[in-house]
Amino acid sequence: MTNVFDILKERGYIEQATHEEEIRELLNDEKVTFYIGFDPTADSLHVGHFIQVMVMMHMQKAGHRPIALIGGGTGMVGDPSGRTDMRKMLTVAQIEHNVSSFKNQFSRFVDFSENRALIINNSDWLLNLNYIDFLRNIGAHFSVNRMLTAECFKNRLEKGLSFLEFNYMLMQSYDFLELYKRYNCKLQLGGNDQWSNIISGADLVRRIENGNAYGLTFKLLTTSEGKKMGKTESGAIWLDPEKTPPYDFYQYWRNVDDPDVENCLALLTFLPMEEVKRLGSLKDAEINKAKEILAYEVTKLVHGQEEADKAQSAAKTLFNNSGDISTSIPSSKLNESDFIKGIDILTLLSKTKLTSSKGEGRRLIQQGGIYLNDKRIDEFSQIINLDDFEDRKLMLRKGKKIYHQIEII
RNA sequence: GGAGGGAUUCCCGAGUUGGCCAAAGGGGGCAGACUGUAAAUCUGCUGGCACUGCCUUCGAAGGUUCGAAUCCUUCUCCCUCCA
């Protein structure tokens, strides 16, 4: 069987390793308990987290034991890495709520039965630490001089860094130590923005326990231009279908830039690498096929086959006029009475949230960006009534690809 | 604690001899053209509404004035230097 390290490397996950060869051997020789930390800063995981989840799945498949460490304790402090300003402080209640949402989502991807994987909250040990003991036992091993040179603090040195956040690195390092002691966890994985925190953790385990601790970081999901992926204007792409509907989720991947297709396939699907490479090398309009597969596969992993099918057939209907109209197109149901007298288009647009104001609707119509049943609307005084419905349904479109179905009930 | 500097529309950032400021410019975003539901490019738009007009906005609250982002007072927050 192929070493999972090689698989991860081939698929392009790995960015940096503390001891590349040793880690490779370790993963080959024994069942390793490893962990990845997740700070509960929101009530759902997003696409950025998903890449870490993918790694967990790969590792678990190879027989290793993942620990999903939820940062109920570190979340109280806030990680300054990759931030130019201080994070908002979350309330204790918010954090607890987020922790439970995370737990739910993990169990969809990772098998937690019979201790094949663990989910642990670092509040278990962080919340009751004694300040003086902690300083003496842990703090003594950290050099401020060295910490200040760490990448994750550098730009914050110019912008300002609170002492609270400065401690984050110690907290995370201490997590590693605890997990090492409690579960013989030898390896910490994480996004590359965690590199400083990870090496300091491995270092701490080595100093205090004289143990073999390793760290490995993964590429962040970025576009070929280096921009972070998984964000849109309306915010992150969430794994929670309530926050990002499966159809939108599907469309996000359907629309990735050409040069990013191969990378996304490798990182976010389990398709064999030969297939990934073949799809990634398609040229011109052909690459649309690869994008369809990408969108379908990722949606299937995250939301299940049924939702993926729905999203795909909805997309095909809307863009190619083939396939079945499906419930997965964003839609609203309105009362028949609303349309007996008729409702003006601007009001309808804001009702469906397609536009955030009537002014915006007016502008879009002037510019020819609003379509009703595929016919461009050019009067913003247009009244919509029952005659515009076919089979009690009506399709609104904003721009080229944002659809909204209205159904009469 | 002391001395200075700052807070402007989604973001950055002009504007502070009071009216010509819904507020330059850039970024981002949205739409149109071109396309492959891609990128690049070009064009238009980008506070709200009952849209040739009205309303709300320039950290917060008051004040001066016919009129304030611009002047005065108090407050809040941020930054820099000093301890």
Compute the radius of gyration of chain A from its Cα atoms.
25
| Burial of A258: CB neighbours in 10 Å, binned 0-12, 13-18, 19+ | middle
What's the one-letter identity of residue A230? G
Question: What is the per-residue pLDDT for A305?
Answer: 95
Question: pLDDT tens-digit profile of A363-397?
Answer: 999 899 999 988 899 888 888 888 888 888 888 99
- Could you tell me the distance in Å between the CA of residue A112 and the C1' of nucleotide B38? 40
Structure tokens at A293: 């597969």
Domains, chain A, in order of start with CATH, read 4-218 (3.40.50.620), 231-320 (1.10.240.10), 331-408 (3.10.290.10)
| Mean pLDDT value across residues A289-317 | 93
A291 touches strand B (CB under 7 A): yes
Question: What is the per-residue pLDDT for A374?
Answer: 86
| Mean pLDDT value across residues A84-90 | 59
ipTM of the complex: 0.85
Question: What is the per-residue pLDDT for A208?
Answer: 95
A84 touches strand B (CB under 7 A): no
- Could you tell me the distance in Å between the CA of residue A345 and the C1' of nucleotide B22? 26
Angle between helices A246-254 and A305-320 (to 10 degrees): 60
Residue nearest to nucleotide B10 (CA to C1'): A233
What's the one-letter identity of residue A205? V
Question: What is the per-residue pLDDT for A321?
Answer: 65
| Mean pLDDT value across residues A95-108 | 90
- Could you tell me the distance in Å between the CA of residue A391 and the C1' of nucleotide B27? 45
A227 touches strand B (CB under 7 A): no
Question: What is the per-residue pLDDT for A323?
Answer: 52
| Mean pLDDT value across residues A289-311 | 95
Instruction: Determine the Cα–Cα distance for residues A114 and A373; give it in Å rounded to an integer.
Output: 54
- Could you tell me the distance in Å between the CA of residue A216 and the C1' of nucleotide B58? 48
Nearest 10 degrees: Cα torsion A27, A72, A176, A267: 30
Chain A 131-170 residues in 7 Å CB range of strand B: 160
| Mean pLDDT value across residues A6-35 | 94
Task: Point out the least confidently predicted range of A11-15, A75-79, A94-98, A180-184.
Answer: A75-79
- Could you tell me the distance in Å between the CA of residue A349 and the C1' of nucleotide B9? 24
Per cent of chain A over pLDDT 90 is 55
Question: pLDDT tens-digit profile of A273-284?
Answer: 999 999 999 988
Rounded alpha-carbon distances, angstroms, from residue A398 to A348, A373, A401:
12, 11, 7
Task: Point out the least confidently predicted range of A11-20, A78-87, A311-320, A338-347.
Answer: A78-87
Question: pLDDT tens-digit profile of A126-171?
Answer: 989 999 999 999 999 999 888 888 877 776 776 677 788 888 899 9
Band of the pLDDT at A90, cuts 50, 70, 90? low
Q: What is the pTM of this model?
A: 0.89
Task: Check whether A207 has a pLDDT greater than 70.
Answer: yes
Mean pLDDT rounded to a whole number for chain A: 88
Top-ranked range on mean pLDDT: pick from A293-307, A345-359, A364-378: A293-307
In this complex, the nucleotide whose C1' atom is nearest to the CA atom of residue A261 is: B38
A404 touches strand B (CB under 7 A): no
Inter-residue contact A352 to A358 (CB < 8 Å): no
| Mean pLDDT value across residues A294-316 | 94
